[in-house]
Amino acid sequence: MTRFNVDEGQIEGRVFTPEFGAMVKELVERTRTMLREGGEISRRVDRELAVTLNLFRKGGDAILDGIVAQDYDVLRGRPVVSKLKKLLLVGGSLIEKMRIVTVGKKR
């Protein structure tokens, strides 16, 4: 906050400034990198757990996309992940889990 000249009063008062936006933008970029790097663990765990971890990562990315969509102004409201997007994320994970179960039965 100091580096971007943002103070707690500004946040409490919900005063969005270009400096606040730049701070959040950097945090979004850093978080996206951490999610991507953390996603590598999915290659080292069993497939069923990997599906769950990938859903977590994709959900995080969807929230970050929501923050970007509102031009980093998280003071005016929470980022939104549409119901359709949530359904697609969960549906994709369910399909992947079903594939794992089906492959397991064939063995």
**Which amino acid, one-letter code, is at 27?**
L
Give the confidence band of 101 by pLDDT, cuts at 50, 70, 90. Answer: confident
Q: If we measure between CA atoms, which residue out of 80, 69, 72, 79 comes closest to residue 16? A: 72
Give the helix ranges, DSSP H, for 6-82.
8-12, 18-38, 47-69
CA separation for the pair 62, 107 (Å, rounded) = 35
For the chain, the structural domain boundaries read 8-106
Query: Among 21, 18, 22, 23, which Cα is nearest to 1's?
Result: 23
Statement: residue 107 has pLDDT above 60: no
Residue 90 backbone phi and psi in degrees, to 5: -70, -45
pLDDT at 84 over 80: yes
How much of the chain exceeds pLDDT 70, in percent? 95
